[in-house]
Amino acid sequence: MGYDVPMERKEESTFLADQTEELSCFVKYLESIKYLVRIEKTVGHEEGAESFIITLSKDDVSTTFSEDEFEVFCNTIKKSIAFEIFKKSEKA
């Protein structure tokens, strides 16, 4: 006798794997442009609640992002790249 895993769980798991891969690629990009990236797990007030803080350092300057702030930061960079590509394609 076993139990069924609801489809939502599998979809959620796939979504999280995709997010993790995207985060990993973004971190590699930051490291390639000489940022030191430190990711630390934090435990929330709710039992089992985990999140991360991400610290970026370069040239004696450091800043720390919450998980949500880092997601906004990543999305801002992606939008900026898309906009620059759009501008360039309009000039062609």
Q: Is residue 1 part of a domain?
A: no
Residues facing residue 53 across a β-bridge:
40, 66
Tell me the pTM.
0.70
Q: Kindly report, residue by residue over 1-27, the tens digit of the pLDDT.
A: 444 444 444 554 565 566 678 888 888
CA 73 to chain centre: 8
Its domain, for residue 12, covers 7-91
Q: 35, exposed or middle or buried, with CB in 10 Å at 0-12, 13-18, 19+?
A: middle
- Which residue type sits at 88? K
d(CA 10, CA 81): 31
Q: Is residue 56 part of a domain?
A: yes
Q: Is residue 2 part of a domain?
A: no
Q: Is residue 75 part of a domain?
A: yes
Q: Kindly report, residue by residue over 35-70, the tens digit of the pLDDT.
A: 999 988 887 766 667 788 999 999 999 999 998 899
Helix and strand numbers (H, E) in the chain are 2, 3
For the chain, the domain total comes to 1
The DSSP call for residue 46 is S
